[in-house]
Amino acid sequence: MHTFAVITGDIVGSKSIDLDERENLLRVLKESFDEINENLIKDVHSTFEIFRGDSFQAVLRKPELSLIVSILIRARLRSENVNIPVKKKNWDARLAIGIGNIEFSTDKTVESDGQAFLFSGRDLDNMKISGERFRIQTPWYEVNAEMKVSLAFADSVISRWSKYQAQVFYYYLLQNEKQIELAERIKISQPAIHKRLTSGNVDCIDLLRIRFENLISSKL
């Protein structure tokens, strides 16, 4: 039986977002989903769906990519509106990753069911109480135990990214671009790119991403 990843997320503090900003928020989410599919997943069977206006769900046939996809979604949200005053609060999301089987699937993701959906949906509900931004649940105890610690550290790092750091991390992780290429894309100097990546703990993010991909791939 094929193993899937289901990412269920919702926007943090969505009730405080002005109505005139909600349209822009949905645009940003849709753009990030399209870019992630095109540049990273490259699988027409992987789906993203927005529901209730401030919640979304993704089904990935490559569960080893679920962590980097989750980080990319948060980076894209946190990087939006980089030209507005710093005092404006960054957008962000809670994301729960569930890895397992899918027993029932329909054209609408939110109507599907199975182990991966159960893990993801249940964890997201619990996160609204705990205040966490990242969680993962899999059928493997040792993976859950390791990732609980690792994701707590990752969440602490990502939650401190400025809009400018998040923008650099988004393109760095999405397309694996070199620093000189990132500098040309964002139109800042290469030393500025290096500073934003270093201050955002890029080495730790890379280590976690590679460890996660290898760990999940070894279980498939």
- pLDDT tens for 155-213 read 999 999 999 999 999 999 998 888 999 999 999 999 999 999 999 999 999 999 999 99
Q: What are the backbone angles phi and psi of residue 180, rounded to the nearest 5°?
A: -65, -35
Span 108-123, average pLDDT = 78
When the pLDDT of each residue in the chain is averaged and rounded to a whole number, the result is 87
For position 79, what pLDDT does the model report?
A: 92
Task: Reduce the DSSP state of residue 10 to 3 states and report it.
Answer: strand
For position 176, what pLDDT does the model report?
A: 85
The better pLDDT of the pair 53, 84 is held by 53
What CA–CA distance (Å, rounded) separates 160 from 136? 21
User: Going edge to edge, which strands form the sheet with 134-137?
Assistant: 47-51, 55-60, 4-11, 93-100, 134-137
Residue 121 pLDDT greater than 70, yes or no: yes
> HSE-up of 186 (CA within 13 Å, CB side)?
28
Q: Residue 122, class by beta-carbon neighbours within 10 Å (0-12 exposed, 13-18 middle, 19+ buried)?
A: middle
Distance of CA 85 to CAs 41, 90, 192, Å?
Answer: 34, 11, 20
pLDDT in tens, 84-113: 544 567 789 999 999 998 875 555 545 566
Q: Which residue in the block uniquely carries the two structure tokens 């964890």?
A: 123
pLDDT in tens, 135-153: 999 999 999 999 999 999 9
Distance of CA 48 to CAs 3, 68, 126, 188, 217, Å?
Answer: 17, 15, 22, 32, 22
Task: Tell the CATH topology of 4-219.
Answer: Alpha-Beta Plaits (3.30.70)
